[in-house]
Chains A and B, each alone.
Chain A
């Protein structure tokens, strides 16, 4: 084996010595593969949510007028709009975290990740505290558990609307929650020096995941809150 003269001024961080998995020909290939795999996964996410979108589209078509009223009645666009902004900002901060890793600035990556997680938690708190809790108290629950006596439509349409609202936003919320944990893990790995200019794949894929969560919300928001 060729010996390389090493005159390191300090112990290299994990990301500096990483080569690549044994079955890859180059780090470049490994990186491309990880990214392609991630995009395929994002495709499956989009298709999974398409079930909600499809159900929404069908009932929106059938119950065009009543859903207009239901949305205005049950949902507050200000809360939804606030959460939209929070998610958009968090998308930007995670991009900056990746930039930090690419530039080799560990603390920049760390703090931007922290900011992202603050946004994510804000989203969850607003969602739970200002939307879910009051709804549960009032009985504005999905379908069969709907006990709130007189909606604007007063028909089963309310129940389907709330049904789709609950399953779609709860599934999305679950994705946000998972995101919080992954980003938290990224923060730990950043501090351990796992990410650097040559190796930030995990961070970048986390970013991709976070962006798809954002994109799904970008669609859910007008569909549910801005039906008017």
Chain B
């Protein structure tokens, strides 16, 4: 257990972090009416990282909104959620984006969805609602989810102009050429090199956070599984952990371990798919044929273990929905042995290809200082020196009982982002073997007591892309009052913008693939 750094910070900031309350993995503290500013320098100077800021509408019961600033510190296993009130009479909060660019979208999303104004934001335009939307704030409690908005007349977004001789603009999307999610990219190019990239996201905004507020807990698990379809089990687990914490329930050891195995299988199949996709984008199609065949092996194993190739319908609040027989576990290990041999062969092929290495090395560089400033997480962060992994830093499921290495590289190019994945696949195999060899007998699920209204809980999971968190407040009758979802993709889009600069247009697909961010997870 790491020392309680936040306790020290609390002592150092008398009167600024009041009403200290301990949750399962998080601490809540109340900020004064003046908000976050007075305590910000103390927090940042002591080495905290700000992971997010999000809002909650409490105008009904408490006549105010709240902002929650989420911090973590390498010397504390807990998260700190510092809460600031925002009055309904003056719905304004101080923007920190000028100093902390990582909060840029977080603050603008709050503006769009809650109608609170981020005062002093360097670029306060809409981000989560498109420009052609009327003036609505969907996450306010007085906005009905069924509101029928008038027909839109098309996107009116004004991009930064592309001016100068020989400089022109390439618009791409929202419908892309491949089998991928929709979004709009606007490239400014001078000949081949990209000067800058502007993104327009939220094409697949589905009102998911609002939808959570309509569902009872057991149904909401399925919604959590559909936040980002390739991360069903990670998001499902993050959600169920939050419910379990709010209910004050512990899940059985067997369930913790089964979840760990499935979380790692999700990492393996996605990483393997990405390795193949990166190879394709530099013309090494045979490598992709093998990689996608290997991914298929894991998808088949997923189905054997859970009934679903994408691991759906398995996690539940209280554990997992089905048990495994001894044979299923042996089968799992057998498939992984086969996978490992084949994976080594695949990497031999890729490593032996000089032309592949040539295309990947020094392509799409994200420098470590930029990655730190932009708050980049997950694979993209670790390839650029950001040594962070929720599994190690804030253990959940059975991660406290296994040891594993967290690969970190400094060069921040496509090659390193691929290498992080390769290393992680190997670590995942070791984790699964360790956990499966030590699977305790006993129950795989407990029945949760009804979750008390107003209970709040935070939960974090290292999805295969990076840090996922969910924050919930329960309502009456086992329903949710609020569910905040943060997918790692939401943090990481600025990394793509940064990494493509100066690269040639034909390298864009492989740079984009090397991050492989989730549009649905971003847009929700």
Same complex origin of A and B: no
Q: Mark A residues whose CB is within 8 Å of B.
A: none
Q: Mark B residues whose CB is within 8 Å of A.
A: none
